[in-house]
Every structure is written in C-alpha cells, then in structure tokens.
Structure 1
Amino acid sequence: MPTDLSPVDGALADALESERARQRETLSLVASENYASEAVLAAQGSVLTNKYAEGDPGDRYYAGCEHADAVERLARERARDLFGAEHANVQPHSGTQANLAAYQALLDSGDRILSLELRHGGHLSHGQPYTAVDEHFDVVHYGVDPETGRLDYDAVEARAAETDPDLIVSGYSAYPRVVDWERMQAVADEAGAYHVADIAHLTGLVAAGAHPSPVGVADLVTGSTHKTIRAGRGGMVLCAGELADAVDTAVMPGCQGGPLMHNVAGKAAGFAEALTPDFDVYAGQIVENASSLADRLRARGFDLVSGGTDVHFALVDLRDTHPDLTGQAAEAALESVGLVANKQTVPGDHRSATVASGLRIGTPAVTTRGFDAAATERLADTVADVLDAPEDESVATDARETVADLCRSFPIYGDSRVASA
C-alpha cells in the first residue's frame, strides 16, 4: 500500500514531515509523552482504521468483525497478563474516557466524588470545574501537605469523613511520589466509598513493577496506554470479573460508540512489547533517570515539590529560587532551545494554570531515546543553565548545541518517517 502522501496531499505531507523533524531535533520532556515503536505506529496506521466494531468481541453490532475481534482479544489478554487483572476493557479513546466510564459504572448522577485538587497534582477528569464530571457529579477535593508536597493520608481520611463521598479517586498527573494504594483503599473503606485508582501516568511503571500496583486493591483501575507504557494512544479500565459487565456497558454505550480499532491494535502491539524483559529494564531506567534529573536540579539550586521524585518526572517550584520566572516563561525559554517541557501549577500556587509557577520535566521519552543517568545529568545542567538566564542568547546558543548533540547521539526512528511507519 502507498505510504507517501506527497503526490496526493502535499500540504498534509509537509506538515507531517515537519512534525517528524521536530520530534527528531528536539527532546520531549513532557511527562505524558513518549515515542511509540515502529510496530505500534504500523498497527495504528493499519486498515483497521476502516472498520466499525461497535460492541464487544463476539458480540458486535456490525458484520465482518472477526479480525477486529482477534485484535481486541489480543489487547485484552495482554493487558490482563501485564497487570494481573481479571478483566480489561481496552476500548476507551483516552484516559479521560476511561475515568468517565469508571464513574458511570459505579455511581449515579449527583453522587459525590472526592479527588485531588488540580493545583496539587490532580487531573481535569477527576472532576475539576467546567468538566462533564463536575457537571454530573458533586465533586469535592483534598490536597497535599503544603509544607512537604506529599499526601497526608490522615488528612485525606479526615476530609473523607467530613465530606462523606461515594467514590474516592487516587492516582495523579503531577504527584512525584509513590502512591500508597492500600492506605487509600482503607480511607475509602472507612468512608463506605468506592475507590478508583487512575494510573494514567504510571501505567508502564506499574506494568514493569517499577511502581506498586493498585490492581486487586482498588475497585477499578483506569489508565492511559500511550504514556510510560508506549502502546497505542487511548485508555483502558481494569477490574475484577464481577464488575466486568458494568464496566463494559459504561464504556459502550455509556460513554462512546464504536472503538477506534486501529488504536486498539496499537495497544495490542505496545502491550506485547511491555511483556518483554527489555521493557522492565526500560521502566526502571525511566525512574533512575528521573532521580538523576531531580538530584542534579537540586544541586543546581532548584526547589522540587516534595524534595525529589519516585516516579518519571521532577516537579520544579520556581517561586522562591526564580520568583520573576513563571512556568509559562520557563516553558517558552526551554522550547526556544529545543527542550519541550510543560508549565505546571504547584501546591499553593497563586498563578493560573495557564501561567503557573512550576515546571514538570519528565524522562519517559528521553529514556526511549536511550538516555542513561549521565546523559540525563547533562540534560539537567542544560535546563538549569537556560532557566538561570532565560534571556541570555549566548546561554541559549550553547544549549541549542547541546540539545543537537544529544539528539544526534540518541536518535529516534533512524531514517524512517514517523508519519508513515
């Protein structure tokens, strides 16, 4: 099949080629981004794009789904094997869709959800204002300890007793420490609430044993499939067999119609890779690199939320050390030299989420490139140099040279085209 778009759509081909070049020539430090393998890209660009497969394997609304069934069964089986789950639904289009399905499976409209506040590391789909979750449920929040930047589980328990939730959400987008799933389950049990653990960011770390697993602890586990696990873009829900029907019905027709079968194929491909010993080594290296990054940034005088990290990113708090530098400005300064990170609110932040006082710097994508601790320390020094002098063009020039050298030393995709893999 032809894979070159140039003869039929030059404008689109140019945009995709430019994106391929951008990925090749910059370093992604966004904690939620990664580089999918050639196999995952091929699966996601496959002829399954053409197939409607509304329903579940063996029970589809449309005819002609026998091969789609085989693909989805592979994805389900591999997810169950990876996470030790009794049931896996791999159809959600995203981690947010997975969360919506989890709430719909367990709650009635108007029930109360207790989740971490966005500025403290929570996620929009945990019920922040103006979201569908906030519209349909009564959402209240807990926070981290403002002094330590860590969860105070006793305080969470007290907040649960105060608010009497029907469901508690654990798992976060910007919390750099190990989550005690058992303690959160105990809080939920004491409150008489369901417990949903969102491992969207931690999926690959959990699969490889580089972070404790909430599977078999929480009532439902949701996650993204394209972040630390590097599979096809989308989401999934893991649960015990007794909740399987409720989850499947909540996904379809509760939250969405036909699954994106090409993405399900990408999930199957990525899950197969995650079942190999090499992936366990990779996940461990993500955490080691994040620790090296955090240690080096601290040595350079930067404050980190919670003082460090146990996971795949460091969360920099600029307020005391760089009070005039916002997260937004820091993000722009780094991007100008080829380092792509993201601004992030920090606990107690008085700036808006679009400006922010922090910066989240992740290691999954650079670890996929092959970074080790030494390369990560060099990266950290470059980040520190730019943030210490964001308007110094000589510093920016040196940083661009370092980024270019790191990109050459740790390439992605060889000479292949990301857009047509």
Structure 2
Amino acid sequence: MTVTTIESEVRSYSRNWPVVFEQARGSRMTSRDGRVYLDFFAGAGALNYGHNPPVLKRALIDYLERDGVTHSLDMLTGAKEKFLAEFSARLLVPRGLEYRVQFPGPTGTNSVEAALKLARKVTGRETVVAFTGAFHGMSLGSLAVTGNAAKRAGAGLPLGHTWRLPYDGFGDGQVSGLKLLDSMVEDSSSGMDLPAAVIVETVQGEGGVNPAGHTWLADLAELCRRRGILLIVDDIQMGCGRTGPFFSFEAAGITPDIVCLSKSLSGYGLPLALTLFRPELDVWEPGEHNGTFRGNNPAFVTATAALREYWSDDLLAKQTEQRGMIVRERLTALAGRHPVRVAQVRGRGLVWGLAFREPEAARRTADAAFARGLLVETSGSRDEVVKLLPPLTSTDDELAEGLDLLDEAVAVSG
C-alpha cells in the first residue's frame, strides 16, 4: 500500500514534491534516496528558525525525558507559566503592549475564529470587513473573511457577514478601500451597518506576497479607532520575525486591538496559537471558547526556548531586514533579465514573491527549482507568484545558493 492509495486526494504538497523526506536540519531537508534539498518553504512559515534548531530540540528532549506534562487543556503547568513569563518580558513589556493572552486551539485558523467571535461578542455587531487577496484559514469563520474563490468554494455553504474591500494596491491602486469604507460607514443610506471589526494581513502571503504600505496600515488603524471598529491583525504567517520585527505591524507604528499568532510561534513546527487582545476586550465567560488541544506543553517549552534564543535582543530582526534588501536586489536583477515573463518583485524582510505574467510560468519555475534541489511554493489568486520563505536563520551562503538555483530555474522554465 502506498500513500497514493490510502491518503485522500486532498493532499497537495506531496504532489509537487514527489519524494519521501526522512531528515531535516537547519535550512535543508533530506529525502529517502539521500538527496539534500534547500528549503525556501519552511513549513509555509512555520519554521522561521529552520528545522530542528539544536537549542530548542535539547529543551524539548530534556522536558520529555523528565516526564513533563504533555497535555493539560488550559490547566496551569510549569511549562505554560514559563512561556507566558518570557512572552511578556521579551515581547509585550518592551513594546508597551498590554495584551491578554488566549490559547484558542493549536492552529492559526483557531486563532482567527476566536478573534472574530470575540469582536462580535464585544461589539454586539455581526459584519467583519476583510480585503481582496486575504487568506485567514480553512474553517468556516476564517473562510468567510478569506478572498480566494477556490478555497471559499470548499465550504459548501454561503459564507456571509463579511464586507470585502480592495487591499492596498489592488487594481493598480485605482480604488481606495479605506476611503470607500469611511464613506460607507459615514452615509446612513449606504446599506452598510457599522462593522464589528476589520481583519487584515500586513503582508498577504497566500494572496501573492502583497505588502501593505506602512502609511496605509496607519490610516486603517486611525479609521478603525475613529469609527469604533476593532482592528484585527492576522500575524500568523508574517509574525515571529518574518518581516523583521517580531510583530509585522511594528514598523507601521500601530497597535491592533486583536492579534492572531501561530505558525512559527512554537519555533519547532509544533502546533501553538495565541489570540492577543486589549484587556478591556476580555469579556469571555470561563470555557466559553475552548478546545482540547489549546494547552500544548511541548510547544510551550520550545516557544520559551525560541524567545530566549532569538528575541533577547534585536539582532535577528536587523539581520532579517538587511538580508531582505539583498534578496530584493537579487530578485530585481533576475526580473530585469526576464521582463517578458516576470511582472513584479514584491516582499518585505524574508518573504518575497516573484510574480509572473502567466501562472503556468510560476509553476514551471517552481518545478524546475525542485529538480535542482530547491523547495519553493506558488501563491496568488492564480498561483502566478513564486513565493520565497527561507528560514530566518539561513546563512548568507545558503541564501545566495537558493537565489542562484532560482535564477537557473527561471532561465530554463521559459
């Protein structure tokens, strides 16, 4: 019996990378036949610190070997206490963020569901504003605020209570979503009720690596404050340092009402999600929103080790921003050599997209990269973007190697 005879047809990444992976360390994965691949996918952003970071692995092994608690729902444990103390001391306090911390369930979509549910409970309103190109998860509430038609179709029922607006730069920037929202809320005859919340990604990852301008984000935050609308930032893929600072919204100088975190939060690929919110929004009744796996203690252990290892200072953030400029230069030069096929380079920090004029060219490039030992995925509404998510801990040589392989892949995929 093989994977193709027993596993559901819903599988996807194994179709694009039809090998069996056996080992992984740092920025590289090794298949069963011994071939080594450079990983610029990083678990779709769940492995910002690479595979099996030694310090985190040691902390996890030590915890398991002394029979540390592995499952506890939301009971108090030593692992949970240490994580919350480190999270507060290293991230919240230095940034002046007075957030309450909720463990909504193990994945990003759980965090989004909790955020939407809380916003509606706090405000007593139903509508949520979301943006074109958005991706927020695959459960029903998250799908309702997701833009991609194919993913939304999988719900099998109507997805409502959402107003969709143009994201920054949508349609070549011809329509301002923020002006439209402000005008609709202002006019009592617009037919738009005052929303409970706006949910936004500072950089749309699955939507094709679309970065919102810092001014646009600041204007959005101001609009929400002025109109009494809660602002939710989905930082699931772009948080944990992917764009430089730990929180991707820091550079815009904004403080969201609610923040969703997951993916690289555990630092080790272990499921862990948080929903952060201002203290006055903490109107939950005990057990009103819960889940069996909301207290993942092994993930608390690795997340605590990650905070101590990578966020005791700003070195990783600065390094990510500096390397981002190098990647931009390399990709811009690559695009300049293939102007007929490559439409745009866009990104921030260490998330980058190479947008092709024809979607098939992006798929051919990703396949050619795989043939050369580089893992990259595609994204965008038509899968027209080759998306780069190298581990933040990749060396300069590994980044250069990956960009060289991508260059070759673009050249041969025409």
TM-score (ref. length: structure 2): 0.69
Cα RMSD (Å) of the superposition?
3.9
Contact 1:149 1:306 in 2 (8 A): no
1:167 to 182, 189, 197: 197
Give the secondary structure class of the aligned counterpart of 2:360: coil
Give the secondary structure class of the aligned counterpart of 1:292: helix
Contact 1:293 1:376 in 2 (8 A): no
Give the secondary structure class of the aligned counterpart of 2:396: coil
User: Relative to 1, partners in 2 of residues 1:104 and 1:211: Cα closer, same or farther, differing over 3 Å?
Assistant: closer
1:138 to 161, 171, 185: 161
CA–CA distance in structure 2, aligned partners of residues 24 and 289 of structure 1: 28
Establish whether residue 300 from structure 1 lines up as the match of residue 370 from structure 2. Answer: no
CA–CA distance in structure 2, aligned partners of residues 324 and 243 of structure 1: 43
CA–CA distance in structure 2, aligned partners of residues 359 and 248 of structure 1: 44
Give the aligned partner of residue 199 of structure 1: 235
Map 1:170-249 onto structure 2 (within 5 A): 170-171=200-201, 172-173=204-205, 174-179=209-214, 180-189=216-225, 191-203=227-239, 204=241, 205=243, 207-208=245-246, 212=250, 217-226=255-264, 233-244=271-282, 246=284
CA–CA distance in structure 1, aligned partners of residues 210 and 286 of structure 2: 29
CA deviations over 1:13-67 (Å, ceiling 9, x no partner): xx77445524992222226243152222344454277433222xxxx3xxxx542
User: Relative to 1, partners in 2 of residues 1:158 and 1:336: Cα closer, same or farther, differing over 3 Å?
Assistant: farther
Unaligned residue ranges in structure 1 (runs of 5+): 1-14, 392-421
CA deviations over 1:62-85 (Å, ceiling 9, x no partner): xxx542343343344244246542
Contact 1:76 1:88 in 2 (8 A): no
Instruction: State the 1:300 CA deviation.
Output: 2.3
Give the secondary structure class of the aligned counterpart of 2:118: helix
Establish whether residue 85 from structure 1 lines up as the match of residue 97 from structure 2. Answer: yes
Give the aligned partner of residue 116 of structure 1: 131
Give the secondary structure class of the aligned counterpart of 1:309: strand
Instruction: State the 1:368 CA deviation.
Output: 1.3
CA–CA distance in structure 2, aligned partners of residues 24 and 228 of structure 1: 28
CA–CA distance in structure 1, aligned partners of residues 59 and 244 of structure 2: 24
Give the aligned partner of residue 106 of structure 1: 119
Give the aligned partner of residue 54 of structure 1: 73
Establish whether residue 67 from structure 1 lines up as the match of residue 78 from structure 2. Answer: yes
Give the aligned partner of residue 21 of structure 1: 30
CA–CA distance in structure 2, aligned partners of residues 44 and 337 of structure 1: 34
Establish whether residue 40 from structure 1 lines up as the match of residue 56 from structure 2. Answer: yes
Give the aligned partner of residue 398 of structure 1: none
Contact 1:86 1:241 in 2 (8 A): yes
CA–CA distance in structure 2, aligned partners of residues 211 and 103 of structure 1: 19
CA–CA distance in structure 2, aligned partners of residues 378 and 68 of structure 1: 38
Give the secondary structure class of the aligned counterpart of 2:231: strand
Unaligned residue ranges in structure 2 (runs of 5+): 1-19, 147-151
Aligned residues: 350
Give the secondary structure class of the aligned counterpart of 1:105: helix
Instruction: State the 1:140 CA deviation.
Output: 2.9
Instruction: State the 1:340 CA deviation.
Output: 0.9
CA–CA distance in structure 1, aligned partners of residues 86 and 35 of structure 2: 29
CA–CA distance in structure 2, aligned partners of residues 188 and 300 of structure 1: 43
Give the secondary structure class of the aligned counterpart of 2:255: coil
1:148 to 163, 172, 194: 172
Give the aligned partner of residue 267 of structure 1: 303
User: Relative to 1, partners in 2 of residues 1:383 and 1:156: Cα closer, same or farther, differing over 3 Å?
Assistant: farther
Further displaced range: 43-52 or 237-246:
43-52
Give the secondary structure class of the aligned counterpart of 1:221: strand
Contact 2:232 2:256 in 1 (8 A): yes
Give the aligned partner of residue 322 of structure 2: 285
Contact 2:56 2:267 in 1 (8 A): no
Contact 2:210 2:346 in 1 (8 A): no
CA deviations over 1:88-125 (Å, ceiling 9, x no partner): 526341222211111121215981121123xx253333
Greater helix share, structure number: 1
CA–CA distance in structure 2, aligned partners of residues 324 and 244 of structure 1: 44
Give the aligned partner of residue 400 of structure 1: none
CA–CA distance in structure 1, aligned partners of residues 198 and 130 of structure 2: 6
Give the secondary structure class of the aligned counterpart of 1:21: strand
Which amino acid in 2 is paired with 1:157? Answer: L
Which amino acid in 2 is paired with 1:315? Answer: G
CA deviations over 1:243-299 (Å, ceiling 9, x no partner): 34549866x52x555411111222111122222343233332342243234323322
Give the fraction of aligned pairs with identical amino acids, expressed as a percent: 12
Give the aligned partner of residue 395 of structure 2: 370
